[in-house]
Structure 1
Amino acid sequence: MSGANFILLINLSVAGLLAACFMAVAFHDVGRAPARWLAFGYLLGMAYSAIEFSIPAFADARLPVVAAFAVFLAATIAFNGGLARKYGVAPPWKAMLLFLLATTIAVYFVQDLPRQSLIRIMAYQLPYAVMQFIGLAIVWSSRQKLDRLDRILMAVLAASGLQFASKPFIAHALGGWGANPQAYLQSNYALVSQSLGTVFALALALLMLAILVRDVLAEVTSKSETDTLSRLLNRGGFTRHAELAVLGALRQGVPVALVIADLDHFKSVNDSFGHASGDRVIETFAGFLREAAAAHHVAGRIGGEEFAIILPGTNLAAARLFAEGTRSAFGALPIDGLPADNRCTASFGVAELHASEDFADLMRRADQALYQAKNAGRDCVRVSVGPAGNWSSAGTEASGRG
């Protein structure tokens, strides 16, 4: 058995194992459409390897050669379908399938050219390169935030495309790709080509597995840190993300402020109108915070009717305005399930981080300011102006109703 035959058998086995891995991911979570497409792609990779291995048994290899080309190109299309599903991009199915049809017809007719013709070899390899670059474009055009793993995937897709584009010249440098299709697997080029294919197939598959696992873990973490009712972070999630936000602000040398809010007389809402109405009050206030928060802000429900939002890049004056605007807007809003003349209000405590403090200190001072707002009659904002816990008033001092 030649070295290329051995590598081809390895490719068949590896493609099967990778297909099984992606199918396992898909069966574990039926919503994982990318995994299903990737599994299909590697199943097609198995079929390609099987066809290549069988070609020496044919007296006229034209049809199996064309079939091998079409099946492998279809595998790259399925892989791109998985990429598109993963990165939220509309798959260019029509363009890719038309490209598959056109290039398959071209490969059928270029077999009439001399075996070592550069055009003939390019007709086989360039379509694969095009598909890898389409995959690269899919990831690049994603509106999702790309991290290091995604960028590594883009680099590997680019490298894979370049290796396909270079194979005609590699074949020429190694003395061709066999005197006929049946002799292909005995050529030095076949050994190099199949080995490169194994390396890139493994690299792309492992990267996609790592990315899918990363997403699953991120989803599990998000669910464990999210409060179901408010759809904000729960206390544990808020603390973790807020501490990271504070550290980031300190590294960047920008201010960071914290606003803590508590719904006024919330127990009386539950007692008078029922827990369903109380839940709507919480949902409404949480919606205010979500709409008011910027992408880099961190908002959470840290208690039954207590909320907090960390504001990186925001000083004390701006944080006070944020709190006052939220207080005023929420106090004027009618709540479903409550009488039309009934308004719910909230009290706010605001603090800005000082150089000698950590997040716990910031929480303590904002909580003290909130306590002062409650003592002042509720429906108002109080601000902690220094590390010693001094505070000042802001907003309207009024007894909150509801």
Structure 2
Amino acid sequence: MTYLVNLCICLMVAGMVRAATIEVGPRHRITSIQSALELVSDGDTIRVVGGTYREGNLAIRKRITIIGVDNPIIDGQKRYEPFSIFVPYVTIKGFTIKASGHSSVKDIAAVKIYDAHHVTVADNVLDDNFFGIYVQGSRQCTIRNNRLTAYGKTEQLTGNGIHAWKSDSLHISGNTIAGHRDGIYLEFVTHTEARDNRSLNNRRYGLHFMFSHNNGYYHNTFTGNGAGVAVMYTKHVRMEHNVFSENWGDAAYGLLLKDIMDSHIEDNVFFRNTTGILMEGSNRVQIQRNRFEGNGWALKIQASCMDNMLTQNNFIQNTFDIATNGSLVLNTFVQNYWDKYEGYDLDKDQEGDVPYRPISLYSMVVEKYPMAMLLFRSFMATLLDRTERMLPSLTPEGLKDDRPLMKPVFTLHETDDMNAGFIRRLGTAIVDE
């Protein structure tokens, strides 16, 4: 027994001795990161002190930790991929990584992970790169607390901030992404969580994912992007406590749901977008406890959508609340708060005694003939809507809320907390622009 204990202790000590730390810097014995990569073994740590390092492509082929001390700069010189990771259990932390190469053929990134697992990229500044962090065919990777900024003038001149392809179980949190094509792009990515990220002023989408099932997106802010957030050909998505704001343009929206199934859109804020949510071909989606405020259209739901439940949402100061392109209604609206509702509540149960029809005839005219917006707030537009409400003929008769709420869903205290959090997050995003 004593022999076994001593053997275990010897093995532990041997393991500890093998885990070495190598210092790299202009005043150290080792002055280049490439030299340190040749010397290290699995489990070792490289500490790189402040300075600028122009060493071409740094290929990581050993299971190591690389830590930047006093913000060292890795300069790709507009030619190279600064970090390429080919093995699992690698950590890159504390660097400024800038000026990667650009290519219309190869997806060059500041940090690219190739078919690995348990890789962590954290607390870095990535500036003026083609792609920021690229995860390819990998799993159980963490991308945390990085700041990514690009400056491409068009979508073709810049890649995505955080890009993942054919990966599983990623953790993407606390990142700030600006100026890229898409802030976060996921394709064939599963069992992944994106939390507490800020994606703002990107050329196309703040978040864009396709064929990416069983994922969750929580407490993110998407502000001022070209077209907001696009969710396509996906099932089992949860999007909760996010802010979608200031996405303006002819084809812009806060959130696009394209062929989405069996998902949950809950407790989000859609503030000042051309369209809050645009739904096409989406089925069995639960949309509840969201706040739609100050949008052009709060919700556009196409006739190709069915079996969706919209309940306990607040519709406040939107130009138009709902729009659709068909007369057949296969979705349920119940117990939502509509600030344009003019009904009454004689039995005092906090629900209106007469149904509310959120689609106006004028909004349907504007949908087909955008120039009709010139008549907005005119007597003619008001007359059209009043007449249609009295004698519905062109708007979908079945699209109505039979139990509209008389007050917003949240209590005053809850609403104040929600507003405070939203304003704080939006204000921070605007300051950081």
| Structure having the higher Rg | 1
**Higher relative contact order (CA closer than 8 Å, sequence separation 6+):** 1
Normalising by the residue count of structure 2, what TM-score does the alignment of the two structures yield? 0.26
Q: Would you tell me which structure has more helix in proportion to its own residues? A: 1
Normalising by the residue count of structure 1, what TM-score does the alignment of the two structures yield? 0.27
